[in-house]
Structure 1
Amino acid sequence: MPTPAVARLDIAPCPVPRWLPGGHAQTLATLFSSYHKIHFVRDRVETPDGDFLDFDWSGPGLIARRSLQDMQPGQSEGLQHGAAARWMEIDDWTALGTHSGIPALILFHGLEGSSASPYAQSIAQYFRARGWIVVIPHFRGCSGTPNRLARAYHSGDSEEIDFMLASVRTRLPQVMWHAAGVSLGGNALLKYLGEQRQDAGWLTACAAISAPVDLVASGRSLGRPLLPRHLYSRVFLKTMKAKVLEKARRFPGVIDILRLEHAHTLQEFDDAYTAPMHGFRDVLDYWTQCSAKPLLGQVTVPTLVINARNDPFLPAQALPVAAECAGSILLHQPDDGGHAVFPTGNFPSHQGWLPQRLGTFFETGL
């Protein structure tokens, strides 16, 4: 069957509970909704620029929580934060990759996320329970250990996505790799797919969840209204500013501390640090160059792009439409779901709908 010229559109609803009305309530449901917790085994990979990235792995045969007598000395050192229980050993790779054709998922987390984030936990648990290998690479500084360089991570770092994908493919070349990204990680993945086109064809299928594909519209949505500015920006900035101030102490004169300390929105933070540190002229240049939306027409890998129309992080009018996207893309845009939560079920709700939606797409393309 020939690939359609434009994307397909799915508007099937996410069955959000009636007692969670509106995008803000559905987004904040992540604070109390239930999900199964999962532990990982961590692998640290050195980067070409002298830094490191931490990859958290789970899969059939890989036992994360061992008894104390089975643990090697130092196996839990440096793992006080996040969901990793121990460090990877040589024998663990054999346990993970003994058979070819096993399905595997690499999941890119969102802004200030990690393998301990509720969405990462619920997705990892779902696929792990079905025999998949799951790996969650951490963007620099997000695994609980400060990265070595003055730089951090950003919404359009295709080079970093490429390195992460190449790293897991090198580790387990015989499995059937799928990729998914949440929020910032989803935008970065989509941008990479649009730029790489045929070179990303080794991926079986991909998904982007609540990706802010128009970063200008997203940044303004989070910065201007009073409620999002206090609900979300303040939470993100608390950890982001602390990390960058720690970098400023290690790299004196490199970071404009005064501007950083006076940043009260993500726009001001990105203008003071993210943009200049990562080679952009200013925040508008950064947001414009790194938005994935203009590249959606060039994606060749089968890809699910799911955004709730009431997502507080991206206005509905900024969502991609079918005519802007390649035929390899399925747009799913339910009216409800909030940002990267899609809560369902009885109180206090759960986060099981999203991983099931991903599973359906990866298995059937629908």
Structure 2
Amino acid sequence: MLKKLPPPCVQRGLAGRHSRIPGEPAAVLAVEDHRDLAMISLDFNFNILTRDLSHYLENQVKVGLFGSGVGLSLVLGFSAAYTCYYLISVAKKPQLISGGKKFYQFLREQCPVVSETYYPTFWCWESRIQTLLRPFVTAKPGVVYRNELIKAADGGQISVDWFDNDESLSHPDPATRPTVLLLPGLTGTSRESYILHMVQQSRDLGYRCVVFNNRGVSGETLLTPRTYCAANTEDLEIVIEHVQRSYAAAPIMAAGVSMGGMMLANYLGRKGRETCLKGVVVFSAGWDVFECTASLEKPLDRFLFNSYLTSCLQASVHRHRPVLEKCYDIDHVMKARTIREFDERFTSIMFGYRTNDDYYHDASPVHKLKSVQVPMLCLNAADDVFSPSHAIPVEAVKQNPNLALLITCHGGHIGFLEGLWPRQSTYMDRVFKQFAKAVFEKGNQLKDLS
């Protein structure tokens, strides 16, 4: 039987290293030769492997100025460092604050999401990136609405979009099917992705939804020279009363996003116990309008957000120019470059405030939180440039047993993205779903929080 020999170069190396010493047993030399052959063969294969890996890295990974080994080490080192930083400094449990132990315990038991670590999408956890990307990366669930126009006392009309959910299995009777009232943000409508996701969550729970669209933003004709603002809750009151009359036996709760949340908080502060709402959840609300506008006027945030939102407000004014120019200097309004300038030239004048500062004070929910008598959960991100962390009303919440504040370290403004590719539900959606279910199914535990 022929024995396979190592390559000639290996044979020469063996010959040079292992000449037989007189008197040394041949068996010992054979064992050493076999061990050396194995090690040289291993070295030979390892050299081939590292050569091939080096060639792959230089052509595929392109880390090459210092050699593929160093480049790979840098990549692995950076990845490990980033992972450690993310797990230590980014992924954290939210802070839950409540003015009463009863509401605090209710949320801990019925809404486990308030106690879970929030893991923002690891490649876009920064505040501005979350805020900017959310409308583009999150999917828009298909929702078919039934539109209704409600007449207001001043001759105007308010557009509401109903999702009746007649296929509900858990609540088949429309008369008693729970209703969720949704309020979009500053220029938002029922077609915003965050509204559609809340409708989807409500559909899964068997609930009905109705979306309150502010005047003039959802395509309806503006019949009177009046739009909307965060301080004025007259249209919201009309819609809530209309929903209650339409389904008198159905419980109602509400959810507001950004300015919609501010309007809801202002409404509750004014109404006290005189409301049919069983509970309220508010997302990314601006609690102090002075601090919010100051934050948005910083150079980067003015460039990224303020100018865009101002142009959206102006576009809405332009669409309804024929009816608005009878009462306001629209040319002057269209020259505004910030939200503050727009409010000074248009909003505060429309709603009869002596100065814009008077309007901003009245629009800030922080001044009315002590009068809220309905269980209200508020979700804010500490890095939200629209509502800076130092203006989040922690102390005011501690003084009212009907309030609870959930603060995440990250999430931006209506961002709260999570998962590797955040196409579906966000952390905000999970908070909404669990709280809505708790209000409708365990709401008897929320009586007499005071």
Q: Partners of 1:102 and 1:343 in 2: how far apart?
A: 30
Question: How far apart are 1:32 and its partner, in Å?
Answer: 2.1
1:203-262 CA-partner distances (Å, limit 9, x unpaired): 11111111111111111111x212221222222222311222344433445212343122
Secondary structure of the residue aligned to 2:401 is coil
* C-alpha contact 1:27 1:339 (8 A) present in aligned 2: yes
Higher mean C-alpha displacement, 352-361 vs 208-217:
352-361
Question: How far apart are 1:348 and its partner, in Å?
Answer: 4.7
Q: Partners of 1:263 and 1:306 in 2: how far apart?
A: 31
Q: Partners of 1:135 and 1:163 in 2: how far apart?
A: 13
Among 394, 399, 403, which residue is 1:329 paired with? 403
Secondary structure of the residue aligned to 2:432 is helix
Distance 1:11 1:259, change over 3 A: farther
Question: How far apart are 1:21 and its partner, in Å?
Answer: 2.8
Decide which structure has the larger Cα Rg and report it. 2
Question: How far apart are 1:156 and its partner, in Å?
Answer: 1.5
Is residue 114 of structure 1 aligned with residue 222 of structure 2?
no
* C-alpha contact 2:381 2:411 (8 A) present in aligned 1: yes
Question: How far apart are 1:144 and its partner, in Å?
Answer: 1.3
Q: Pairwise mapping of residues 11-90 of structure 1 onto structure 2 (< 5 A)?
A: 13-35=117-139, 36-61=141-166
Q: Partners of 1:332 and 1:278 in 2: how far apart?
A: 32
* C-alpha contact 1:343 1:350 (8 A) present in aligned 2: no
Q: Percent same amino acid among aligned pairs?
A: 27
The runs of 5 or more residues in structure 2 that have no matched partner are 1-98, 108-113, 440-445
Q: Pairwise mapping of residues 200-219 of structure 1 onto structure 2 (< 5 A)?
A: 200=275, 202-219=276-293
2:374 maps to amino acid: V
* C-alpha contact 2:216 2:320 (8 A) present in aligned 1: no
Question: How far apart are 1:351 and its partner, in Å?
Answer: 3.5
Question: How far apart are 1:274 and its partner, in Å?
Answer: 0.4
1:192 maps to amino acid: Y
1:337 maps to amino acid: G
Residue 79 of structure 1 corresponds to which residue in structure 2?
Answer: none
* C-alpha contact 2:223 2:323 (8 A) present in aligned 1: no
Distance 1:257 1:34, change over 3 A: closer
The runs of 5 or more residues in structure 1 that have no matched partner are 64-95
Q: Pairwise mapping of residues 175-324 of structure 1 onto structure 2 (< 5 A)?
A: 175-200=250-275, 202-222=276-296, 224-324=297-397
Distance 1:7 1:274, change over 3 A: farther
* C-alpha contact 1:302 1:329 (8 A) present in aligned 2: yes
Aligned residues: 330
Question: How far apart are 1:34 and its partner, in Å?
Answer: 2.5
1:171-209 CA-partner distances (Å, limit 9, x unpaired): 111111011111101001001101111102x21111111
Is residue 360 of structure 1 aligned with residue 434 of structure 2?
yes
Length-normalised TM-score, structure 1: 0.84
2:410 maps to amino acid: D
* C-alpha contact 2:222 2:323 (8 A) present in aligned 1: no
Q: Partners of 2:122 and 2:324 in 1: how far apart?
A: 50
Q: Partners of 2:145 and 2:173 in 1: how far apart?
A: 19
* C-alpha contact 1:187 1:211 (8 A) present in aligned 2: yes
Higher mean C-alpha displacement, 342-351 vs 291-300:
342-351
By relative contact order (CA 8 Å, sep 6+), the higher-ranking structure is: 1
Instruction: Give 1 or 2: higher helix fraction.
Output: 2
Residue 62 of structure 2 corresponds to which residue in structure 1?
Answer: none
1:19-44 CA-partner distances (Å, limit 9, x unpaired): 11321011112232223232211111
Cα RMSD (Å): 2.4
Length-normalised TM-score, structure 2: 0.69
Question: How far apart are 1:267 and its partner, in Å?
Answer: 0.3
Secondary structure of the residue aligned to 1:167 is helix
Q: Partners of 2:205 and 2:315 in 1: how far apart?
A: 38
* C-alpha contact 1:210 1:306 (8 A) present in aligned 2: yes
